[in-house]
């Protein structure tokens, strides 16, 4: 699956992933009203609005982008109907041949981690049959519990030719509280990064491992160090745009081959029509605004990368 991700990045000349993290406040009134008219102001109504919103954005951007990253929390908050909207979104994006990174940040131990891995990447056995639960291509994983939490995911990834992005250094202001603490003079995130590189060695594609890392765009100096520490690791980079990460900060996350990183933008794309730069599209054409925001993001990043060379 890392090969597919890389070839789609190259084909689109766009190392970008669109974060499908819908909040009801992002969804235009006409989409909400239509969903509520059919299902009422209910969890089902909210889930329908989210699904229609996602579908419109995917329909207008899928030819430009390699991947999407639905954030499961934004669906899970609407209970079962929300989870159904998540699953529909995953399935639809796969139909459109997009690589789907489930941003689930799960992490547990032993048989419990195995259950998460099975549910999101693999097949669960029921009697003589087996079924995919949510069936993403990649998922994000939390490393706090150590190898016992990661190994069951690696096993499923090998079997299914799928992948992970393991949290190393997150983009938020307080990420340093634990992640930056010094251990023998090196921050914890470097120790985690080294482990990610080790786990990755066991799961190699051609040039890159299918075990990736998450490193926030908001910490470019740390990104530089981690890039060197994990040379064969694909880095998923959140925090561009809305969280304050600039394109000029992104160069250190890439390798000399122009690969090795994929930049996420969520709000900046899916709620583009709410920004002054795109307000001329109007709420009626929210998905066209998202398309333009993808084009501009691609340009912004490629410009920054060309300055690197």
Binders in 9-48 for its own copies, by CB under 8 A: 21, 23-24, 32, 36, 41-43, 45-46
**Secondary structure of residue 169 in the 3-state scheme:** strand
- Is residue 84 within the footprint of its own copies (CB under 8 A)? yes
* Residue of 4, 52, 161, 188 interacting with its own copies (CB under 8 A): 188
- Is residue 185 within the footprint of its own copies (CB under 8 A)? no
Closest CB to its own copies among residues 14, 213 = 213
Which residues from 43-72 bind its own copies, rule CB under 8 A?
Answer: 43, 45-46, 71
How far apart are CB 269 and its own copies at their closest, in Å? 16
* Residue of 115, 259, 283, 305 interacting with its own copies (CB under 8 A): 115
Q: Could you confirm whether 158 is annotated as catalytic?
A: no
Build a one-symbol-per-residue string for 231-250: x at contacts with its own copies by CB under 8 A, - elsewhere: --------------------
Residue of 105, 224, 232, 246 marked catalytic: 105
Which residues from 125-164 bind its own copies, rule CB under 8 A?
Answer: 125-129, 131-134, 142-149
Tokens of 259: 């690969």
Residue 283 · residue 301 · CB < 8 Å: no
Strands (E), the chain: 16-18, 67-68, 99-106, 123-126, 129-132, 138-141, 163-169, 182-183, 186-187, 211-215, 235-237, 261-265
Tokens of 6: 């890389």
- Is residue 111 within the footprint of its own copies (CB under 8 A)? yes
| Torsion region of 223: left, alpha or beta (phi above 0 gives left; psi -120 to 50 gives alpha) | alpha
| Distance from C-alpha of 52 to C-alpha of 108, rounded to nearest angstrom | 33
Q: Which of 70, 67, 65 is nearest to 53 (CA)?
A: 70
- Is residue 194 within the footprint of its own copies (CB under 8 A)? no
Closest CB to its own copies among residues 23, 304 = 23
Please spell the DSSP secondary structure of 25-84, one letter per residue: GGS-HHHHHHHHHHH-SSHHHHHHHHHHHHHHHHHHHTTT-SEE--BTHHHHTTHHHHHH
Q: Which stretch binds its own copies (CB under 8 A): 58-66, 99-107, 283-291, 293-301?
A: 99-107
| Distance from C-alpha of 123 to C-alpha of 220, rounded to nearest angstrom | 38
Q: Which stretch binds its own copies (CB under 8 A): 1-9, 103-111, 253-261, 289-297?
A: 103-111
DSSP state of 245: B
Cβ neighbours around 128 below 10 Å, total: 5
Which residues from 195-214 bind its own copies, rule CB under 8 A?
Answer: 195
Closest CB to its own copies among residues 6, 139 = 139
* Residue of 13, 178, 299, 303 interacting with its own copies (CB under 8 A): 178
Residues in the interface with its own copies (CB under 8 A) total 73
Please list the active-site residues.
Answer: 105
């Amino acid at each position: 699956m890392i090969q597919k991700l890389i070839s789609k990045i190259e084909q689109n000349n766009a190392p970008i992933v669109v974060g499908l993290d819908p909040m009801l406040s992002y969804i235009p009134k006409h989409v909400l009203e239509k969903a509520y008219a059919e299902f009422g102001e209910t969890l089902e109504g909210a889930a329908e609005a989210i699904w229609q919103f996602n579908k419109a954005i995917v329909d207008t951007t899928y030819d430009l982008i390699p991947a999407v990253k639905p954030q499961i929390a934004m669906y899970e908050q609407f209970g079962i109907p929300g989870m159904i909207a998540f699953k529909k979104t995953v399935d639809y994006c796969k139909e459109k041949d997009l690589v789907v990174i489930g941003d689930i940040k799960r992490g547990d131990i032993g048989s419990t981690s195995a259950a998460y891995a099975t549910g999101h990447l693999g097949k669960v056995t029921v009697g003589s049959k087996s079924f995919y639960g949510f069936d993403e291509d990649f998922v994000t994983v939390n490393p706090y519990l150590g190898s016992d939490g990661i190994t069951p995911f690696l096993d499923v990834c090998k079997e299914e030719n799928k992948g992970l992005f393991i949290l190393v250094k997150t983009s938020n202001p307080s990420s340093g509280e634990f992640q930056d603490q010094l251990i023998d003079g090196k921050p914890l995130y470097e120790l985690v990064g080294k482990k990610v590189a080790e786990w990755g060695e066991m799961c190699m594609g051609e040039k890159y491992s299918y075990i990736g890392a998450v490193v926030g765009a908001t910490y470019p100096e740390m990104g530089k160090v981690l890039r060197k520490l994990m040379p064969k690791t694909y880095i998923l980079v959140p925090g561009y745009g809305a969280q304050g990460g600039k394109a000029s900060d992104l160069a250190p996350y890439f390798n000399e081959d122009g690969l090795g990183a994929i930049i996420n933008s969520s709000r900046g794309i899916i709620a583009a029509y709410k920004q002054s730069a795109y307000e001329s599209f109007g709420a009626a054409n929210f998905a066209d605004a998202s398309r333009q925001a993808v084009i501009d993001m691609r340009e912004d990043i490629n410009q920054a990368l060309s300055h690197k060379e």
